C-alpha cells in the first residue's frame, strides 16, 4: 500500500510567512508530510516551476441570494462554486439572508438545501441580519454562533436591509458575547436617499448616477460611525468592500485608538472607475455595485492599503446579475432609473488572477502577502484556520497550483459563472491556477475539470472564543 494518496512534487510552496521548495504528501484529504524526495503515492503531480499555494478562500460572495421582486441572482451554488474553483479557490463564504420578521434558521434550512450536493468546493456561511428582533438577538444569534455560523453581516444602507444604530449596537453586543464577527456595509442610507431624490428630479437616471449618489463622503461617514459603534461596544469589526482612501484613513485612525478592525477591499476598487458606469446603451449597469468604483487616485490608495496592511482581506464581493436579462441589470424598472439596477458584479473566478498579476507579477506584493490576502487571513478572521487557509501538517489538502508563466486575457466565454459578462473583459493577466485540489481530490487538472459536483461540503466556523491557536487580531 502507498504511504500517500497523492504527492505534489517539486513545487515552490508559499504560506503567509514562508516560501520554500518541497514536496507535499497527502493522505485521507489532509497534508501529512512536507519534505524532500517523497515517494509512494497513487498519484504524483509534478509541480516543478509552479507555485503551490493554499487554495483560495473568498470570504465575500453572494450566490442564490433573494434579491428583490423580479430580480434573480445569476449563480446557484453549482455555478458559483464551479467558477470559484476555476479561479483557484477551495472555499467560499456566501451570505444567508434573514427574511424580515422570520427566523434565520428558516433561511438557513433553505440555503443548506440549495447547497447540499451541489458544491464543487467547500462552503461556510455568513448570516445577514435584517431584523434585529429580541428573539434573534437574545436567542437565535447566540445559538447559531455556537453552531458554526460565526459571522453576521449588517447593512447601513438599503431601505429594506439597513439597521438603525441601536440595532447595530445590539448585534455588535451579541457578537462580543458569543465571539462572532460582525461585517458592516458602510454607506449612509439617508444621504443616499437625499441624493437620489435630487438626481431623479433633475432627470439624471442613467447608471452613472449610481456613483454620484453614493460619493466617498457617504462611505466615509458610515465607516466612521461603524467603527465608533464597535469601539463603544468594545468588539472586533470587519469593514467590508472599502473603496477609497478616506474610508481607509478612518480604519487607520480607529486602529491607532485601539479598535480591532479588519479591512477588506475588492478587485473592482483596483481595476474599475466610476467612468465605467458611463457606458453607452445602459452598459454602465454592468458596473453598478456598492460602494461604487471611484477614480484612479482611489485605486492607488487601495493598492497602498493592500501593500501596507490597512487591508487584511481581498475578496471578490461576487454578486452576479445577468446584464441582458429582464431579471437582471436590464430589468424594466432599472431601465427607467439607476436606483432599480441590482447592485453587484461577478468576479469570483477573476479575483485571484487579478491580484496575482497586478500584485505579485508587478512587484507590489510578495508571494506570502498574496497568500495572506487570498486565503490565510480569511480563514483566521472567520474561524476556519488552521484547517483551512494554509499549508501545514494536518491542514486540509486544499491546494492551488499556479503557473506563473501562463498569460491570459480575461474573456467571459472562458469563465464558469452563470452571468453573461465580466466587468474585467479584455484585461490581460499573467499567472493562473491551473490545477486545484480540494481535500486531497484533484478537481481541476491542468485546466480541465476532473472533479465532481458534490465534492464540496459545508464547513462550520469557530467563534473567536473557541479558537485555541489563532488570534484574529494578529493577522
Cβ atoms 394, 386 nearer than 8 A: yes
Query: What is the closest distance, in whole angstroms, from the C-beta atom of residue 282 to Zn ion in the complex?
Result: 23
Among 185, 208, 339, 412, binds ligand DUC (CB under 6 A): 185
CA 31/CA 159 separation, integer angstroms: 47
DSSP string, 61-97: E--S---STT---S--HHHHHHHHHHTTEEEEEEEEE
* Distance, first Cα to last Cα, the chain: 41
Determine, following the binding rule CB under 5 A, whether residue 318 of this chain makes contact with Zn ion: no
Which is closer to Zn ion, CB of 16 or CB of 71? 71
Residue with cell 432599480: 340
The binding track of 132-171 with respect to ligand DUC, each residue x by CB under 6 A or -, is ----------------------------------------
Say if residue 355 is preceded by a cis peptide, omega within 30 of 0.
Answer: no
Query: What is the closest distance, in whole angstroms, from the C-beta atom of residue 46 to ligand DUC in the complex?
Result: 40
Give residues 173-192 in contact with Zn ion (rule: CB under 5 A). Answer: 185
3-state DSSP assignment of residue 96: strand
Query: What is the closest distance, in whole angstroms, from the C-beta atom of residue 287 to ligand DUC in the complex?
Result: 13
Q: Which of the listed partners (ligand DUC, Zn ion, none) does 343 bind, with a CB threshold of 5 to 8 Å by partner kind?
A: ligand DUC
Residue 321, Cβ density class (10 Å: 0-12 exposed, 13-18 middle, ≥19 buried) = buried
Cβ atoms 284, 207 nearer than 8 A: yes
For 137, other C-beta atoms within 10 Å of its C-beta total: 17
Cβ atoms 386, 379 nearer than 8 A: yes
CA 287/CA 278 separation, integer angstroms: 9
C-alpha 270 chain-centroid distance: 15
Which is closer to Zn ion, CB of 136 or CB of 238? 238
Query: What is the closest distance, in whole angstroms, from the C-beta atom of residue 12 to Zn ion in the complex?
Result: 33
The binding track of 278-317 with respect to Zn ion, each residue x by CB under 5 A or -, is ---------------------------------------x
Among 80, 179, 267, 344, binds ligand DUC (CB under 6 A): 344
The binding track of 23-62 with respect to ligand DUC, each residue x by CB under 6 A or -, is ---------------------------------------x
Phi/psi at 326 (nearest 5 deg)? Answer: -65, -20
Name 462's Cβ contacts closer than 8 Å, sequence gap at least 6: 148, 150, 383, 384
The binding track of 289-318 with respect to ligand DUC, each residue x by CB under 6 A or -, is -x--------------------------x-
Total residues in contact with ligand DUC, by rule CB under 6 A: 9
Angle between helices 165-178 and 216-233 (to 10 degrees): 50
Give residues 41-80 in contact with Zn ion (rule: CB under 5 A). Answer: none
Query: What is the closest distance, in whole angstroms, from the C-beta atom of residue 277 to ligand DUC in the complex?
Result: 15
Residue with cell 510578495: 366
CA 316/CA 436 separation, integer angstroms: 19
Q: Which of the listed partners (ligand DUC, Zn ion, none) does 273 bind, with a CB threshold of 5 to 8 Å by partner kind?
A: none
DSSP string, 294-316: --HHHHHHHHHHHHHTS--EE--
Query: What is the closest distance, in whole angstroms, from the C-beta atom of residue 346 to ligand DUC in the complex?
Result: 11
Which is closer to ligand DUC, CB of 134 or CB of 160? 160
Query: What is the closest distance, in whole angstroms, from the C-beta atom of residue 428 to ligand DUC in the complex?
Result: 27
Q: Which three cell numbers stand for residue 124?
A: 461556510
Query: What is the closest distance, in whole angstroms, from the C-beta atom of residue 241 to Zn ion in the complex?
Result: 6
DSSP 69: T
Give residues 425-464 in contact with ligand DUC (rule: CB under 6 A). Answer: none
Cβ atoms 13, 7 nearer than 8 A: no
Query: What is the closest distance, in whole angstroms, from the C-beta atom of residue 318 to ligand DUC in the complex?
Result: 9
Query: What is the closest distance, in whole angstroms, from the C-beta atom of residue 90 to ligand DUC in the complex?
Result: 22
Q: Which of the listed partners (Zn ion, ligand DUC, none) does 350 bind, with a CB threshold of 5 to 8 Å by partner kind?
A: none
CA 416/CA 327 separation, integer angstroms: 20
Among 151, 343, 377, 395, binds ligand DUC (CB under 6 A): 343
Chain residues binding Zn ion by CB under 5 A are 185, 317
Chain residues binding ligand DUC by CB under 6 A are 62, 185, 240-241, 290, 317, 319, 343-344
Amino acid at each position: 500500500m502507498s504511504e500517500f494518496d497523492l504527492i505534489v512534487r517539486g513545487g515552490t510552496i508559499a504560506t503567509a510567512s514562508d516560501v520554500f521548495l518541497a514536496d507535499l504528501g497527502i493522505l485521507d484529504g489532509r497534508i501529512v508530510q512536507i519534505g524532500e524526495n517523497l515517494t509512494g503515492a497513487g498519484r504524483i503531480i509534478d509541480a516543478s516551476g509552479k507555485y503551490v499555494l493554499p487554495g483560495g478562500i473568498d470570504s465575500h460572495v453572494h450566490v442564490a441570494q433573494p434579491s428583490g421582486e423580479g430580480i434573480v441572482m445569476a449563480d446557484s451554488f453549482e455555478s458559483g462554486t464551479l467558477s470559484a474553483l476555476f479561479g483557484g479557490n477551495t472555499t467560499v463564504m456566501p451570505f444567508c439572508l434573514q427574511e424580515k420578521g422570520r427566523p434565520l434558521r428558516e433561511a438557513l434550512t433553505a440555503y443548506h438545501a440549495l447547497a447540499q450536493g451541489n458544491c464543487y468546493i467547500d462552503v461556510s456561511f455568513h448570516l445577514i441580519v435584517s431584523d434585529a428582533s429580541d428573539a434573534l438577538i437574545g436567542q437565535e444569534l447566540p445559538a447559531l454562533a455556537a453552531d458554526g455560523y460565526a459571522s453576521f453581516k449588517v447593512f447601513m444602507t438599503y431601505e429594506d436591509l439597513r439597521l438603525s444604530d441601536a440595532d447595530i449596537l445590539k448585534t455588535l453586543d451579541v457578537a462580543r458575547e458569543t465571539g462572532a464577527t460582525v461585517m458592516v456595509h458602510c454607506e449612509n442610507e439617508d444621504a443616499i436617499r437625499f441624493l437620489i431624490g435630487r438626481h431623479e428630479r433633475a432627470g439624471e437616471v442613467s447608471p452613472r448616477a449610481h456613483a454620484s449618489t453614493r460619493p466617498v463622503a457617504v462611505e466615509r461617514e458610515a465607516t466612521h460611525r461603524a467603527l465608533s459603534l464597535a469601539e463603544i461596544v468594545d468588539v472586533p469589526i470587519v469593514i467590508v468592500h472599502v473603496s477609497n482612501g478616506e474610508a481607509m484613513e478612518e480604519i487607520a485612525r480607529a486602529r491607532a485608538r485601539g479598535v480591532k478592525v479588519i479591512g477588506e477591499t475588492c478587485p473592482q476598487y483596483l481595476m474599475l472607475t466610476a467612468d465605467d458606469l458611463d457606458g453607452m446603451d445602459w452598459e454602465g449597469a454592468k458596473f453598478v455595485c456598492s460602494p461604487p468604483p471611484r477614480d484612479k487616485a482611489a485605486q492607488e490608495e487601495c493598492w497602498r492599503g493592500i501593500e501596507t496592511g490597512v487591508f487584511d482581506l481581498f475578496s471578490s464581493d461576487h454578486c452576479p446579475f445577468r446584464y441582458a436579462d429582464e431579471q437582471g441589470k436590464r430589468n424594466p424598472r432599472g431601465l427607467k432609473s439607476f436606483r432599480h439596477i441590482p447592485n453587484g458584479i461577478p468576479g469570483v473566478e477573476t479575483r485571484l488572477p487579478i491580484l496575482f498579476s497586478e500584485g505579485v507579477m508587478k512587484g507590489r506584493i510578495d508571494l506570502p502577502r498574496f497568500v495572506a490576502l487570498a486565503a490565510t487571513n480569511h480563514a483566521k478572521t472567520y474561524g476556519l484556520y488552521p484547517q483551512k487557509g494554509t499549508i501545514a501538517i494536518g491542514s486540509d489538502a486544499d491546494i492551488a497550483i499556479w503557473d506563473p508563466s501562463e498569460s491570459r486575457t480575461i474573456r467571459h466565454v472562458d469563465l464558469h459563472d452563470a452571468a453573461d459578462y465580466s466587468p474585467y473583459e479584455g484585461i490581460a493577466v499573467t499567472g493562473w491556477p491551473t490545477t486545484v485540489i480540494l481535500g486531497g481530490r484533484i478537481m481541476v487538472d491542468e485546466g480541465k475539470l476532473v472533479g465532481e459536483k458534490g465534492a464540496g461540503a459545508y464547513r462550520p466556523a469557530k467563534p473567536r472564543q473557541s479558537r485555541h491557536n489563532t488570534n484574529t487580531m494578529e493577522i
